[in-house]
Structure formats: C-alpha cells, structure tokens
Amino acid sequence: MPGLRAPSDYSGEPPRHPCLRINSKEPFNAEPPRSLLISSYLTPADFFYKRNHGPVPIIDNIERYFISISALIEKPRQLWMKDIRILPKYNVAATLQCAGNRRTAMSKNKVVKGVGWGVSAIGNAVWSGAKLADVLELVGIPKLTSITQPGGKHVEFVSIDKCKEENGGPYKVSIPLDQATNPDADVLLAYEMNGEPLNRDHGYPLRVVVPGVIGARSVKWLDSINIIAEESQCVICSLEDVSTIKPGKVKISGYAVAGGGRGIETVDVSVDGGRTWLEASRFQKSGIPYVADDANSDKWAWVLFEITVDILHSTEIIAKAVDSAANVQPQQVEDIWNLRGILNTSWHRVHVQAGHSNM
Amino acid sequence: MPGLRAPSDYSGEPPRHPCLRINSKEPFNAEPPRSLLISSYLTPADFFYKRNHGPVPIIDNIERYFISISALIEKPRQLWMKDIRILPKYNVAATLQCAGNRRTAMSKNKVVKGVGWGVSAIGNAVWSGAKLADVLELVGIPKLTSITQPGGKHVEFVSIDKCKEENGGPYKVSIPLDQATNPDADVLLAYEMNGEPLNRDHGYPLRVVVPGVIGARSVKWLDSINIIAEESQCVICSLEDVSTIKPGKVKISGYAVAGGGRGIETVDVSVDGGRTWLEASRFQKSGIPYVADDANSDKWAWVLFEITVDILHSTEIIAKAVDSAANVQPQQVEDIWNLRGILNTSWHRVHVQAGHSNM
C-alpha cells in the first residue's frame, strides 16, 4: 500500500523502553516487569506489552494511507484517515491481553508451545477512534438491530505486516459480523492510545481494538477489512477432471451449498470459459425417503443441480453458485489460497476432451 | 466414562464401505466417489465422508452412557440418553462439510498442510435429536431472547475420543453461547441420522450437529459440554514468586480482568492456602490522566486491587476473582492445561518466605 510499507527485515524497528523483558527479539515480543505494570490504571504505551508477528511497518507517506473494505459482491471501498476521523470519536477504556499471558506458569505443569510469557502480557488503555459499526454503516452494511441468524458472516481484519506464522503473508483474524455491527460491542478502529497518536509498536496509524476477547483479534497496522461468508461451494460431480465425452448433449450435475443458513439462489454453468452462463435446475426434492420438519426448507442443506448442454469441442466447464444474500464465489483458487488449505470456495472447473470415435 | 470407552489403538474400528476413497487410514478419513455423492439428496451414512481424529470409541454398556454439562459455578450436571430423548425431537436437514473439502485443488496452486481431500468431504442428511437450546434450558441456561453482549461466553463440546492432534487428549471445539441458546440456530444433540440410529463412525450414541458452519464443530461421541467464559484473570504483581518478606504487614496488589464485557465483582486473597479469604479493595479510579466516555464504566477494563495482610510465616498467597456473572476461576493450572499454552486463567499463587533478620 502506498503510504505504509511492510519491511522484510528488522533494521527499521522503533526504539523500546529498556525496562521491558524481551521474550522474542524478532518479531519483537516483550512485557514490563510485574511491579511496574500496576503502577497506574492506564498503562503507558512504552510499558504496554508488545506482541508483533513480523517487522514493524514503516510509514513512507501518511497522507497516502488508506484502508480497503470489501464485501464480496462489491468493488472494494477505500477509506482515508479523514473519512474515519470525520465519524464520531469514542474513547473506550479496554484491557488487552495476550492469550499466552501466564503461559510460563502453564509450562511448569507440562511443556507447551509458544512465546514464554510471564504475567504481564496485558495492559489497560483508553483507545480512541471510530466505532467499527459506524465505519461499516458508511460502506452500506447496516447496524445490528435484532437477533440474526448465527453462523453466517465474519469480518476479517488484515494487517499490512509480513507475519512469521503466515510464511510472510499478512497477519489476519476475524470476528463475527454480529459483533462488528453491534455498537454496544465497542469495537473500534483506533488512532489514539491514552490521548496520544498510536506509536509504531501499537499499530500506527490505525488499529482494531476488540474489547473483551483475546488481544490477537485487535489487529495493528490495518490494511483491509473483508466481509466473508462461510463455505459457499459449488461442485460438478458428474464429470471427473479430465473426462472424455462424446460431442453432443452432456448432462452436468453436482451440489451447491451456502454457509450460515443462507439458501442457494441459483447455480450457473458455463461451457465457454465463463463468457456465457446457463442456469441449472434443481432436483433434490424428489425421492426423499425421510423428511425434515419443514420439507420446503433447504436452509441448512445442499442443493443438487443439473443441466444438459451441447458440447462440441474440448473445453473447460465452470459452475458457480449465488446464495440468497447475493454472495458469489471467488473466481480463482489463487485468490483464497491459505497454508492450511481450508475453505476452498472458488468456482469449480473441470476440463473435458471431446472424443470422436469408439465412445 | 462408563458405557463408552476411547481405545488407544485401531483394532476395534467399524466396517466401512469399499467404495470410499481413503485419505488417511489411522485416524480414518475417507470420502465417496463424486459420482456416487449426488445419487441422492440425502447421503446414506455408509457413503457420508468420515473425518475422525483418533480411534472410534467403543460401547461397553449403552445403559450407562451419560453426558456432563458444567457451567463453571455449579457442579456438573449429568444427563442420560432418556433425559435427552424426553425433550422435543427435531428433524433438521443439514449439510456437513469438512473445511478441507477441495483442498487437493488448492494444493495444485501451492502446497498446503492437512489431509488431501477431493470434492466429496461433504454430505447431506436429516439429523434428529434434541435442540441444544432445550438441553441447556434444562440445566438452567436460558434461551436467547434479545441481542446480548458479544464476545462473552462459549459452549465447548468435548468428545470422548483420543485425538491425534491433541496428543491423545479428547477432541474439542466451541461455539458462541448466543448460537447455542438460539433455537433458530437449530444446533442439535442428535441421536439419529436419516431416520436410523447414528452409526459408530458418525458419533453413536450422541453427537452435536451445528448447521451452517464447518463440520469440525459438529463433535461426535459427545462426552461433555462446558460453558466457558473468556479470560477471567487475577494476578498478584507486588510480589515475585518466590519473594522474601519481613514478617508483619504486607501489601498485596495486582490486576484482575474479566472477559466479554463482564465486570469484576470481587477479588479475594488468601494467605493460608485457600482456607480463609479476605476481600481486596480497588484503587484504579484515582489519578486517571485521561478518561473514557463513561468514567464509571470498567466494562472492558481491568481492576487494580490491593490489600494489606499480616504474614508471619512462609506461605502461599492466592488471589482469585469473581466476575459480575458470578464466574469463578479454575483452581489449578492442571485443570486447564493445553498444548498451545493459552488462557491460563487459574488462581494466581505466589510463595513468600518469611525472613527474620537483615531485612
């Protein structure tokens, strides 16, 4: 991102207070002595524990810093610091704490993995900034006003840093959309800590503060916010990749499933590499030996689809689904690749070869 | 648990259908061929993908099977199959899908970690059983009726199996309490699949089904349900472990913090190994240089505490906190040990030695 840059090495780290007990130097993880920790109700930034995942990002030009917000269906929206500062400013006292606080005491019992924290991977500060619920409303995502269907969407925060655990990719976590859009949850995009601008170790120029949960969700050096939906999937099962077919009518069938209790609106199939699309029909309602309470509901269930198309030449067949909240799937697996290999929800593609004899 | 037993080896595995494509033999992970997968709207148990984490538990005596439900403050409640069967029975059609479904396609792009699933780590069934919201109500946890404070409590499901990833400990996951207590979320404790009793591979005698999210949360062979609160902590900071003190008046101070926006009700300190307790006072409200919007609110913030006690002999000092929802901390770190070394919320203990000269 112009304006803010993630270095690949640790030559540009900020100065730190000498009192800190260093648990890991690169990335920098440190905590204050326990006696100092309770010397004031608000923990000064200098003494506040640091828990970094890579080198601290470097500001090239703060005037050019912005964050991107994407909600799958729309083009990402860019928000500049002025867009965030113009929203109502809230001051929230919140304690942040590393989930690994007091890990050392746990490892006395039996060895554990992770940075060896003492009892001071915790701090309390007044964080100031815009409420995330206001920011999301600004880009068209309404505030929480009633109990909604759980298990649905999440809000992902992506840092700009190069994170050791992610093989050099950025640090990212997510929280439920219900929490993000609930003003009473006090989730902030914060630009101040204890009345001063954030310092570099604590996320300058902008960080997330999610009160009441482990500190890991309070992403620093914010780069982007993504609204993500779980598990919309659409897979062709009638053909292997690669299949040889006889040119002519070919039946294509498979399953589609949407996460979070959203239904599948349509399944579209393309046999020309995505230039044109045909809507498939459903066939799941026939021959059910045993029915759910509401036989008309496929809220939590998959949809089986089929369509017969003319295929005359070797080609790539693509299937994609749109759920009832109008979410579409990502086109390419490259866009959603992750080390754990989970949630591959990209368009499904199978290649067919048209054979002309001995079929 | 009497009645159901987790074996340490794979000699007692159930028979499986020969059509399954095996991705891992021990623990057993397998999926059907894709063409078979869509032959019916409801996936027969035989063809339904299996994703185990250890050997399949063995039934010794189903009459003696029960689950335990604990909510931190109370003694665990035991529920027998008859207690669950007497509740209203719901039939919910739900697709379960492994988060790793289509992982193989993702690894074509760049190598990923995990079991190499094709496109069939998914299945659709009608699950029958009691709603978790009804089960929790039975043990005194009310149903969700309005928007509640997010970030608070979770419901943890613990299997009886010996799980490879947990170094032989049981498999466990959690979901938010709001989801568990919302009847519309359709979370089930299921004892039937497609109108038949669960088979052993799918969790006999009782499993969780959490519709609309990754299959990993639908714990099989249920052993216990725990209501857990995030991060209640209480730490003594004025004394190191071990400190030498001069016998007489000793000031003990530290911090306490509750998760999920719950306040700290009291901090209690014991200097006789937990036999008697004294209530500490708070001192955080003085000398705040910069205040939050609501200066009286410590909803998301820690509490600093202090108390002066008489200590005449070498002893163990213990501090524990009670939050505003009356949650107390676990006594021993042994009870909450985990491989990642996180969320050590046990009572804090420091040892002091009474020195009698040259202090």
The pLDDT tens digits of the residues spanning B270-325 come to 998 888 999 998 876 544 444 556 654 567 888 889 999 999 999 999 988 877 66
The average pLDDT across B209-229 equals 89
Banded model confidence at residue A342, pLDDT cuts 50, 70, 90: low
* Cα gap A136→A144, rounded to integer Å: 11
* Cα gap A46→A26, rounded to integer Å: 18
Q: B-chain residues within 8 Å CB-CB of A100?
A: 340-342
ipTM above 0.85, yes or no: no
- Sheet of B21-24, strand order: B21-24, B29-31, B50-51
| Chain centre distance of CA B305 | 29
Instruction: Give the gap in angstroms from C-alpha A301 to the nearest C-alpha of chain B.
Output: 4
Interface touch B237/A287, C-beta < 8 Å: no
* Cα gap B78→B71, rounded to integer Å: 12
The identity of residue B296, as a single letter, is N
Q: What is the residue-wise DSSP string for B155-215?
A: EEEEESS--TTTTTSPPEEEEEHHHHT-GGG--EEEEEETTEEPPGGGTTT-EEE-TTS-G
* Cα gap A202→A50, rounded to integer Å: 7
Q: A-chain residues within 8 Å CB-CB of B178?
A: 150, 178
B37 sits in which H/E element = helix B34-37
* Cα gap A28→A44, rounded to integer Å: 18
What is the reported pTM?
Answer: 0.73
pLDDT of residue A164: 77
Interface touch B333/A99, C-beta < 8 Å: no
Q: B-chain residues within 8 Å CB-CB of A35?
A: 237-238
Tell me the pLDDT of chain A averaged across its residues.
84
- Between A299 and B357, the more confident residue is A299
The average pLDDT across A114-127 equals 85
Interface touch A233/B109, C-beta < 8 Å: no
Interface touch B255/A343, C-beta < 8 Å: no
* Cα gap B295→B256, rounded to integer Å: 18
pLDDT of residue B176: 84
pLDDT of residue B357: 45
Tokens of B285: 């409200």
* Cα gap B165→B163, rounded to integer Å: 6
Nearest to B300 among A186, A284, A297 (CB): A186
pLDDT-above-70 percentage for chain A: 82
Q: Computed from CA positions of residues B226, B231, B235, B240, in that sequence, does the dihedral angle turn out positive or negative?
A: positive
Preceding omega of A32 cis (within 30 degrees of 0): no
Are A34 and A118 contacting, i.e. CB atoms less than 8 angstroms apart?
Answer: yes
B356 close to A (CB below 8 A): no
Does the pLDDT value for residue A242 go beyond 70?
Answer: yes
Interface touch B38/A119, C-beta < 8 Å: no
Nearest to A300 among B95, B108, B286 (CB): B95
- Cβ under 8 Å to B: A residues 196-225: 210-214
A242 close to B (CB below 8 A): no
Tokens of B88: 């209203």
Measured distance between the N- and C-terminal CA atoms of chain B, rounded to whole angstroms: 54
* Measured CA distances, B122 to B37, B88, B103 (Å): 9, 28, 12
Lowest-confidence segment of A16-25, A51-60, A229-238, A251-260 by average pLDDT: A229-238
The pLDDT tens digits of the residues spanning B36-58 come to 988 888 899 999 999 999 999 99
H helices of chain A, where? 34-37, 81-85, 103-109, 132-138, 177-180
The pLDDT tens digits of the residues spanning B310-347 come to 999 999 999 888 776 666 666 666 665 666 566 666 77
State how beta strands A66-70 and A222-229 pair: parallel
User: Over the range B200-216, which residues count as b (16 or more CB within 10 Å of their CB) and which as e?
Assistant: bbbbbbbbbbbbbbbbb
Does the pLDDT value for residue A81 go beyond 90?
Answer: yes
Which residues, 6 or more positions from A39, have their beta carbon under 8 angstroms from its beta carbon?
none
Q: Which residue has the tokens 């991107």?
A: A68
Interface touch A147/B146, C-beta < 8 Å: yes
Q: Which residue of B has its CA nearest to A113?
A: B340
Instruction: Give the gap in angstroms from C-alpha B205 to the nearest C-alpha of chain A.
Output: 20
Instruction: Give the gap in angstroms from C-alpha B86 to the nearest C-alpha of chain A.
Output: 18
The pLDDT tens digits of the residues spanning A161-190 come to 988 777 788 898 888 888 899 998 899 999
Q: A-chain residues within 8 Å CB-CB of B95?
A: 257, 300-302
Interface touch A211/B342, C-beta < 8 Å: no
Are B129 and A355 contacting, i.e. CB atoms less than 8 angstroms apart?
Answer: no
Q: Which of A207, A179, A182 is nearest to A193 (CA)?
A: A207
Nearest to A292 among B92, B108, B178 (CB): B92
Nearest to B93 among A93, A254, A298 (CB): A298
- Cβ under 8 Å to A: B residues 272-301: 284-293, 297-301
pLDDT of residue A149: 59
Nearest to B176 among A150, A211, A283 (CB): A150
Does the pLDDT value for residue B232 go beyond 70?
Answer: no
Are A85 and A191 contacting, i.e. CB atoms less than 8 angstroms apart?
Answer: yes
Cross-strand partners of B155 = B175, B227
* Cα gap B213→A298, rounded to integer Å: 15
Q: B-chain residues within 8 Å CB-CB of A338?
A: 106, 112
The pLDDT tens digits of the residues spanning B44-95 come to 999 999 999 999 999 888 889 999 998 755 678 999 999 999 999 999 999 8
A259 close to B (CB below 8 A): yes
Burial class (CB in 10 A: 0-12, 13-18, 19+), B111: exposed
Instruction: Give the gap in angstroms from C-alpha A241 to the nearest C-alpha of chain B.
Output: 11
Does the pLDDT value for residue B114 go beyond 60?
Answer: yes
Preceding omega of B242 cis (within 30 degrees of 0): yes
The average pLDDT across A288-314 equals 75
Banded model confidence at residue A47, pLDDT cuts 50, 70, 90: very high
* Cα gap B216→B97, rounded to integer Å: 8
The pLDDT tens digits of the residues spanning B141-195 come to 889 877 765 556 789 999 999 887 777 888 988 888 888 999 988 999 999 999 9
Q: A-chain residues within 8 Å CB-CB of B151?
A: 179, 185, 210-213
Interface touch A112/B300, C-beta < 8 Å: no
